[in-house]
Structure 1
């Protein structure tokens, strides 16, 4: 798909996508043409991506318009040099502002979120997907089929009439997918990123960023203190009522925990079992767990004021007794919906918050500010290298 495609050519190509997809998977689709082993480096050969639950999806060119729901996929597009292809993302101001909080430390990298559509303002709406006419939907077709007013036939319709689905949602927490998706496979965050990189034919960028990630993990895990010396911690969010907390595990499977699980802290609610993806506890239960460190999920987003959170905890009769509050170890956390660039920063952030003696102190953070500026010699990964990769450099 070139920049000179006419609307008619785009429509014809999408119909071709539908025809081939129906033959291959019956649900998701690609483009005609003979598959080539050199698809990663060729702009004319058909290439394919294999990702559960969609199966094999074929493309005859790099997508120019990309629909995303949760920002991990928008972050992937930015990381691969295709952020300007994104036409929708969940709560654009919140997602985009948070992404740019991190990108501020990557020279030349930004995400233009203003004007993007929110795919969930009124729930997933089929008419919106038709209107956007995206070349690919970086969203899970199993997840889409479970949305209000949707079923498998609606997912198939969008794949055949608009563009294929390439996404995997339930790997976030290894949750059970909807009925009808037997054989659903789960992927770690960076493996999922590799699949998306194949969609854009950006294997070199992916491999370079994956190497940065591997080095970061090695740096962190080789310097962790013995388990017996690690702090207890919670990942939680103060509810709007100011009297309860939404709590999340630190070390459970799933890419939503790709920034906390490698840090190996002791989960203060590690024995907790919740009916859904998170639990709800009151102040008394939080005090029973009494974590050394409180990581406030969404704290680096514009949705919460960390100053207000700290004040609420410190002035509450029970909250003021929390060890994390008394020792000034209530920190802003990032987002669960993290892509690769966000993951690098959130790993570094968590390492400094949990283990300042090993990785350096986490700087003071002001509400609404970008990710704090950290001296070069205290970086846990090279921002210049990452910015160069995203920008297309070596």
Structure 2
């Protein structure tokens, strides 16, 4: 990862960067002894964990004021900044969407993947929010895209960000990284702040299991807002979400009248399913709808695949194809492929035209508002209005004002800081 011999002794650049001792220490020291877990988790290590807490305070010392930009979240603990960050390194859409929501979209300098692909997804939703946008033309792509998850440490030095809005456990799982690398970047460039495993409540590497915590999407969004000094903006945005969720939940049909639903990805003749009611923010747009998971009682999961015949045995009423809005899949074309297959064409979701593009599981708060609305219309059109359909590459479809489940103008004003 390059010659780092001069970096280890480089002075810390961020004057007020503090990690919660108990949380961070346990993970880091364990990380020095080894790491495990899946490909999205890792451990961290450090050599300057604590400051002297035994020094005698000066008789004339005054209380240090609480920093205006400070928040806490596992696995990092507490992070404090001198000033609001003017440059933010981001890996996933989850945090890019949060940055935009709190007025920091212009501070984002990177994404973990092709910026156009992720930017197009955000554009599709932001098109319906007047004045909200995300300029991704000059963002640095962190992942080399070479078939492995590889991010060069040198990039973080080149970007010279004020904040790395990403989970250090995720970074430590990248090829070529170890706990010392993660801590080095935190000390010499900027702190980490993020949480990845809350997506599916996956098990982090063994060295992090005693310190890791799981949060909802809106919990994470609130903590990020606090770090940005934007708690009031978050509260207003969360109120929109809570009001919409209350409206949806109060109008759901009885459980016996709800459809069976399969969430999946189709690729090269194979179906890759996931469970819609499992915990984690990946399901934050589906789980609240209370539908019956078509794979209940099966061994469906991220490691299981289905062919046409097996899926027909399940035969869900509704199929939601993930990453379907301005993302990686042309769902209309996929539907045609499945319908042309002699077995696939027998699926009830195909015959009844209930094969829909679904949302991006790596969703931030603004995305979540649209994806909740979309899923409610797809599953319960008689309660929330018909889903108007979607053409690949287009923005999120225009919904008549009287059929919208949340107020676009209100949300746009919140993002602009006008409400």
Task: Please report the TM-score for the alignment, with normalisation by the length of structure 1.
Answer: 0.90
The change in CA–CA distance for 1:52 and 1:388 in structure 2 (over 3 A counts) is: same
The change in CA–CA distance for 1:358 and 1:74 in structure 2 (over 3 A counts) is: same
1:307-342 CA distance string (max 9 Å, x none): 211110110111100000000111111111100000
Partner in structure 2 of residue 134 of structure 1: 161
Partner in structure 2 of residue 64 of structure 1: 86
Structure 1 gap ranges (5+): 1-10, 38-44
1:38-117 correspondence to structure 2 within 5 Å: 45-89=67-111, 90-117=113-140
The change in CA–CA distance for 1:91 and 1:359 in structure 2 (over 3 A counts) is: same
Partner in structure 1 of residue 144 of structure 2: 121
| CA distance in structure 2 between the partners assigned to 1:378 and 1:284 by the alignment | 38
1:78-227 correspondence to structure 2 within 5 Å: 78-89=100-111, 90-122=113-145, 123-181=150-208, 182-227=210-255
| CA distance in structure 1 between the partners assigned to 2:89 and 2:211 by the alignment | 25
How far apart are residue 151 of structure 1 and its match? Answer: 1.5
**Aligned to 2:272, what secondary structure does the other structure show?**
strand
The change in CA–CA distance for 1:323 and 1:290 in structure 2 (over 3 A counts) is: same
1:89-137 CA distance string (max 9 Å, x none): 1321111101110010000001111121121125122111111111111
| CA distance in structure 2 between the partners assigned to 1:98 and 1:47 by the alignment | 29
Partner in structure 2 of residue 7 of structure 1: none
1:1-394 correspondence to structure 2 within 5 Å: 14-17=13-16, 20-21=18-19, 25=24, 36=65, 45-89=67-111, 90-122=113-145, 123-181=150-208, 182-239=210-267, 241=268, 243-273=269-299, 277-394=302-419
Are the aligned partners of 1:306 and 1:367 in contact in 2 as well (CA < 8 Å)?
A: yes
Q: Comparing 288-297 with 117-126, which one deviates more in the overlay?
A: 117-126
How far apart are residue 76 of structure 1 and its match? Answer: 0.3
How far apart are residue 178 of structure 1 and its match? Answer: 1.2
| CA distance in structure 2 between the partners assigned to 1:269 and 1:15 by the alignment | 49
| CA distance in structure 2 between the partners assigned to 1:135 and 1:277 by the alignment | 35
How far apart are residue 191 of structure 1 and its match? Answer: 0.4
Which has the larger helix fraction? 1
How far apart are residue 47 of structure 1 and its match? Answer: 3.5
The change in CA–CA distance for 1:347 and 1:162 in structure 2 (over 3 A counts) is: same
Are the aligned partners of 2:262 and 2:275 in contact in 1 as well (CA < 8 Å)?
A: yes
| CA distance in structure 2 between the partners assigned to 1:21 and 1:224 by the alignment | 43
| CA distance in structure 2 between the partners assigned to 1:159 and 1:328 by the alignment | 50
How far apart are residue 21 of structure 1 and its match? Answer: 4.9
Task: Please report the TM-score for the alignment, with normalisation by the length of structure 2.
Answer: 0.84
Are the aligned partners of 2:265 and 2:322 in contact in 1 as well (CA < 8 Å)?
A: yes
Are the aligned partners of 1:21 and 1:160 in contact in 2 as well (CA < 8 Å)?
A: no
Q: How many residues align?
A: 372
1:333-382 CA distance string (max 9 Å, x none): 11111000000000000000000000000002112110000111101011
Partner in structure 2 of residue 4 of structure 1: none
| CA distance in structure 1 between the partners assigned to 2:85 and 2:350 by the alignment | 48
**Aligned to 1:112, what secondary structure does the other structure show?**
coil
How far apart are residue 23 of structure 1 and its match? Answer: 7.5
Structure 2 gap ranges (5+): 1-9, 26-44, 52-61
Are the aligned partners of 1:49 and 1:58 in contact in 2 as well (CA < 8 Å)?
A: yes
How far apart are residue 59 of structure 1 and its match? Answer: 1.0
How far apart are residue 49 of structure 1 and its match? Answer: 1.1
Larger RCO: 1 or 2 (CA < 8 Å, sep 6+): 2
The change in CA–CA distance for 1:254 and 1:384 in structure 2 (over 3 A counts) is: same
| CA distance in structure 2 between the partners assigned to 1:278 and 1:92 by the alignment | 28
| CA distance in structure 2 between the partners assigned to 1:332 and 1:359 by the alignment | 17
